[in-house]
Chain A
Amino acid sequence: MVVIESRNLVEVQKVRQVYGKSGGPDLLVLDDVDLTLKENEIVGLLGRSGSGKSTLLRSIAGLVTPTQGVIEFPKIEDGQRATVSMVFQTFALFPWLTVLQNVEVGLEAKNVPPTDRRKRALAAIDLIGLDGFESAYPKELSGGMRQRVGLARALVVDPDILLMDEPFSALDVLTAETLRTDLLDLWSEGRMPIQIDPDRHPQYRRGGADV
């Protein structure tokens, strides 16, 4: 992989995460983790299940607050900080919204005007290969197509960092492979996913735990 430029998008410093279980001993999930993500790189987090990959990802996404440590987003261009978007293992689509509405949800939260919103969402759906399914409901789609909706929803907000938490593990091998190749094609445009995916580099599996 060619590194064109290497500005830091996010810096994870000495992050420690403890889950307090009521009545039980505290569970240490992340201990003193440092991680820097730069522009234009793909980073895979490897580790056994339960080793804290998801927790680290969720800390970067701002979904959990680390017990200790800092997650910094340095200013990149004109004072803006990197934006984050996430793809979920379980797809996490709203079953009561159509494909189009699901993709629009992130733009809606940013108060993008409706016409602009629709245009961008349709473009993302097109890009991801779901043209013609705009008004279908998630339950009417196959697993692979559902995760495509999840991807479109994450990409449509133009994130600087795309976090993927085992995005293909709920799919069968063939579908996962197709989706992965498609995603890599897309990445060559210059988006930067960090993802957890043990299948990608099986040779790293043994010692790959970050935590």
Chain B
Amino acid sequence: MVFHSRSDGKHRHFDRSLAPRLAGPSWADLAAIALLLVIALLVIVGVGQMRQPLTALNAAPVDLQLLHLPEYALLSTLRMFGALAASLIFTLTVATLAAKSRKAELIIVPALDILQSVPVLGFLTFTVMFFMNLFPGRQLGVECAAIFAIFTSQAWNMAFSFYQSLRTVPKDLDEVSRQFGFSSWRRFVRLELPFAMPGLVWNAMMSMSGGWFFVVASEAIAVGNTTIALPGIGSWLALAIERKDFGAVAWAVFAMAVVIVLYDQLIFRPIVAWADKFRFEQTASRERPRSWVYDLARRTRLLPSIIELLLVAGRALSALSWSAPPRRQTLHPNKHIIRVPDGLWIGFIAVVCFGASLWLLRFISTSLTAADIISIVGLGFATLVRVAVLIAIASIIWVPIGVWIGLRPTWSERLQPVAQFLAAFPANVLFPFAVVIIIGLRLDPNIWLSPLMILGTQWYILFNVIAGASALPNDLREAARTFNMRGLQWWRQVALPGIFPYFVTGALTASGGSWNASIVAESVSWGDKRLQATGLGSFIADATAAGDLPRVAVGIVVMSAFVVTLNRTLWRPLYRYAERRLRFD
């Protein structure tokens, strides 16, 4: 009864974890320790800075000395990662709750859907006031407000992706874990978390990219009479714009680029390389993401032991006897028994929502009339036209380019990271240049400010189309070539259907981002000159600057309504169509 793997193919030997590691620290260890120390030091310095009272901030306001720029860049980056950590915690708790509990799901999923499309920048006024009251007289309050603003731009898509992953755990793996009687904790760490990992990492990267835009926008906050400038790249930029200092703006652009490259290399590349093993596929893929930091970490003896130490806590949790889901249920759940509390629950939620809307309506109606609101909706349509036209123009430009790049692997390998870098680059850093051009050439701001809205978001279209074109199955392309399909027929029957699902994803992200960007893009200044385009974005920006809360509230509600309606009536059906008809798998 000896088992031989006779016909099972080659006998290769895999001795990775079982091989004894070399004794003694290596150069890789030294490098890793140095890297860790530098990061720890930077965090300590940065956090110490953040805990100062507000008076210290007033005593030493943000200035444009080049010496301070690295420190500012560091502080902005720390804020980003603080928000990312908060988003992760939010994702792991709230999305898990939504996937596990039906009652929670009924609230959380629609709420996430709406929060995803709400203009985050509009909230700045409310959050700053809230957090400043929470920590009166301390810089920490403003820091929290800035971090919260970034958090609100990062958390929703991460939570959504995690929830989706938890709901689509492969059936056979689910059966294995139930058959072995996994406790809920073990099920989470062994099955659900690993399965959700690639989506979570990808979305965290997207969130991080989107977050820079908000870090720049939220550091220098002016609410009514109070103006607070937290030390950071955003404040540096605001000051540079106020003083019309082109050199300083250029330095901010440079600092931004350095920071993005650094965190990409030091943090995201290694995570992507590591998360590659969680990709749910049964065959090894040809090209694995690589990262020198990850390779370095794997070569050390120190890091694995640190990770081992962290895992002890996880082990302790696993060892606890969590209530395993019952192996055999005696009670067959009756559908009617479930429906009744659900109905009550929905009713309760409806009453709460209705109450909240009533309260909001009373708050608004104190200072706004129906005519005001109609004119605000009109402004919404102005911005809608801008977004629609810009998305169309961007699509016409980037779809052919993206397809061309995507079909050429060597090019797409080189250009994909560039497109992602451009998406991460906060476009608002570049606004001053646009203003100078518009003023210099005496252009109409109503038209020429519009492109700023899509400056940062068009790249989503580009890199999604690249991804779609490179995922075009090779046999399909070869079939097209055999039948000599080209020109219009090739585009209509091969390229466009192939990239369509990807394009919809990109266009949806771009359009959502553009609505958000309109708040800073429709109202731009350079020194004492101020350019304004008529639209909902500039309306919200003005109301925020004036500290007029009812107007801000109406602006946000109207904009949210526009975005949600657009998603429901345009993007969602397109997406469903693409999912149904044009998927390759």
Contacts and interface: CB of A to CB of B under 8 A. Distances in A.
Interface of A: 20, 58, 61-63, 65, 67, 71, 84-86, 88-92, 94-99, 105-106, 108-111, 127-130, 132-140, 142, 144-146, 148, 157, 174-175, 178, 182, 185-186, 188-189
A187 B277 CA distance: 35
A67 B278 contact: no
Chain A CB within 10 Å — which of B170, B176, B183, B318 has the most? B176
Interface in B289-324: 318-319, 321
Contacts of B13: 132-133
Contacts, number: 132
A135 B14 CA distance: 6
B308 to A, nearest CB: 12
A63 B178 contact: yes
B5 A135 contact: no
A110 to B, nearest CB: 8
Given A98-B17, A178-B6, A185-B1, A63 B179 contact: yes
A135 B278 contact: no
22 contacts: A20-B335, A61-B175, A62-B179, A63-B175, A85-B179, A90-B172, A92-B175, A95-B278, A95-B280, A98-B17, A108-B186, A110-B180, A111-B321, A129-B4, A132-B11, A133-B12, A134-B14, A134-B18, A142-B9, A145-B9, A148-B5, A175-B7
Contacts of A110: 180-181
Interface string B395-437: 0000000000000000000000000000000000000000000
A144 B7 contact: yes
A194 to B, nearest CB: 14
B3 A144 contact: no
Interface of B: 1-9, 11-18, 170, 172-173, 175-183, 186, 190-191, 194, 197, 277-284, 318-319, 321, 327-329, 332, 335
Contacts of A92: 170, 172-173, 175-176
A19 B194 CA distance: 31
B327 A182 contact: no
Nearest to B284: A139
A18 to B, nearest CB: 10
Nearest to B333: A65
B8 A86 contact: no
A91 B283 CA distance: 13
Contacts of B281: 95, 139
A186 B1 contact: yes
A65 B3 contact: no
B228 to A, nearest CB: 45
B328 A71 contact: yes
A95 B279 contact: yes
Contact of A88 (B175, B277, B318): B175
A132 B10 CA distance: 12
A148 B18 CA distance: 20
A60 to B, nearest CB: 10
Nearest to B276: A96
A72 B549 CA distance: 67
A44 to B, nearest CB: 21
Nearest to B193: A96
B179 A84 contact: yes
A67 B283 CA distance: 38
State the main secondary structure of chain A at its contact with B: loop
Given A85-B179, A92-B170, 20 more contacts: A61-B175, A62-B328, A86-B175, A88-B176, A94-B190, A94-B194, A95-B278, A97-B190, A98-B16, A108-B186, A111-B321, A130-B5, A134-B18, A139-B284, A140-B14, A146-B282, A148-B8, A178-B8, A182-B3, A185-B3
Nearest to B320: A111
A81 B2 CA distance: 30
Nearest to A139: B284
A139 B286 CA distance: 12
Given A95-B281, A144-B7, A144-B9, A135 B172 contact: no
A181 to B, nearest CB: 10
Contacts of B4: 129, 182
Contacts of B329: 65
A115 B266 CA distance: 36
Contact of B8 (A61, A85, A98, A142): A142
Contact of A96 (B3, B278, B319, B332): B278
A110 B8 CA distance: 31
A90 B173 CA distance: 10
B328 A95 contact: no
Contacts of A137: 277, 284
B21 to A, nearest CB: 13
A65 B5 contact: no
A178 B321 CA distance: 40
A8 B36 CA distance: 61
Given A109-B186, A144-B7, A178-B7, A96 B194 contact: yes
B180 A106 contact: yes
Chain B CB within 10 Å — which of A20, A58, A65, A99 has the most? A65
Nearest to A142: B9
Nearest to A20: B335
B247 to A, nearest CB: 50
A157 B180 contact: yes
A175 B7 CA distance: 6
A88 to B, nearest CB: 5
A175 B186 CA distance: 33
A187 to B, nearest CB: 9
B16 A65 contact: no
Question: Which 4 residue pairs of A and B lie closest in terms of their CB atoms, listed nearest first?
Answer: A129-B3, A92-B172, A136-B14, A185-B1
B181 A109 contact: yes
Contacts of A96: 194, 197, 277-278
Nearest to A109: B180
A67 B331 CA distance: 10
A208 to B, nearest CB: 25
Nearest to B182: A109
Contacts of B283: 139
B284 A111 contact: no
B5 to A, nearest CB: 4
A186 B9 contact: no
A80 to B, nearest CB: 15
A84 B175 CA distance: 13
A145 B3 CA distance: 12
Nearest to B283: A139
Contacts of B17: 98, 135
A146 B5 CA distance: 11
A150 to B, nearest CB: 9
B191 A94 contact: yes
B127 to A, nearest CB: 38
Given A67-B332, A94-B190, A138 B172 contact: no
A175 B191 CA distance: 29
A108 B191 CA distance: 13
Contacts of A136: 12, 14
Contacts of A134: 14, 18
A108 B318 contact: yes
A86 B178 CA distance: 11
A73 to B, nearest CB: 9
Contact of A145 (B8, B16, B181, B284): B8
